[in-house]
Amino acid sequence: MKYSTCLLFFLLFACSCVFSQTNIERAAKKGDQAIELMDSGKADESLQLLKECMQLDPGNIIYPYESAYAYYLKKEYAKSIEILTALLVHKDCFGRVYQLLGNSYDLNGDRGKAVSTYEEGIKKFPSAGELYLERANMELMQKRYTQALPYYEKGIEMAPGFASNYYWASKIYCGSTEEVKGMIYGEIFMNIERNSDRTAEISKLLFDTYKSEIKLMPDSSYSVSFSKSAAIDMGNFNSGNKMKLPFGMGAYEPLLLLALKNEKTIDINSLDRIRTSFMERYFNDSFNKAYPNALFDYQKRIADAGHFEAYNHWLLLKGDEITFNFWLARNKVKWDGFMQWFAANPMKPVKSPQF
């Protein structure tokens, strides 16, 4: 009798687990359908399915979060705020909850509450790159670029695989007197987000910045202007080491000047030669030890694999498309080999590059 009772409990428990699993699977399927509806502009139909999902899988935070997003798309920001506020104490809360809540406050006319929401989210989720992005964008919208940059750069440091902070930091720096940082951030961005309209935009920005900041004179002299910062790193000096110039003045500009020798024009082909010479000197002259940088380490990997010429043409193609197409017509095998290698060997973003 005792055996039969134990068996009965086991069967009931097993049936319960199967039923629960089935409900979770049904909710997941309906959730996928709801998101498809939302993406096609059918927010109301999506909300109905999400309601069913919450009944089937009531502990899953994704379904109320997606419901809040549907209301956000419907511009019913107060409803979105109501749902998201309740999710802040959910055991599975995540950074995008704070992001969407802050965005909802902002579009509902409460900018101050939006800012405080992003900041609260950053404290709770310090590795959420999207929260640094939103906090920075609040400054960007007011054209307070110097106030926005620290948030973008902190986001790069804390979430090195999140592309958008590199994108905006690159655009701001390339429009400043510290273009060197824009060049580094922009190239890393293109390696993270390889095929979008923003990728094409940054490709052209990098080319145009090279073009505007490298001056080749008729008398064969030349100059570069990618950094005005003269701040000295006193940390090493105080430790008894030599004073260290900032990256722009101590490494980037001197190496770029040496790479310009014998160049007569700036186009995508000459920039390939310039960048190749720069990269080789950076390692051969041990600048990689004084100024370590993950981007240049990745460039060396590309060069060692025999693809640096094709990579440079990919990087800058949107700034000089006619010359690129002439190059491509003569180098199709190189290009195809690079594309195959590039797909299999992406850059792995790490902590913020050192400048």
DSSP code, position 261: T
Q: Which residue has the tokens 């001197």?
A: 254
Residue 79's pLDDT band (cuts 50, 70, 90): very high
Q: How many Å apart are CA 105 and CA 127, to the nearest integer?
A: 22
Neighbour tally for 103: CB within 10 Å: 21
Q: Which residue has the tokens 């990997």?
A: 301
Give phi and psi for 252, each to the nearest 5.
-65, -55
pLDDT at 227: 92
DSSP code, position 248: I
pLDDT above 60 (res 331): yes
Residue 234's pLDDT band (cuts 50, 70, 90): very low
Mean pLDDT lowest for which of 118-127, 129-138, 346-355? Answer: 346-355
Is residue 337 within 8 A of residue 307, CB to CB? The reply is yes
pLDDT at 220: 83
What is the pTM for the complete model shown?
0.89
Position 354, amino acid: Q
- Residue that wins the pLDDT comparison between 95 and 231: 95
- For the chain, count helices (H), then strands (E): 20, 2
- Beta-bridge mates of residue 214: 224
Greatest alpha-carbon pair distance for the chain in Å reads 105
Position 52, amino acid: E
Average pLDDT, the chain: 91
pLDDT at 167: 99
Q: How many Å apart are CA 131 and CA 24, to the nearest integer?
A: 30
pLDDT tens-digit series, residues 282-291 = 999 999 999 9
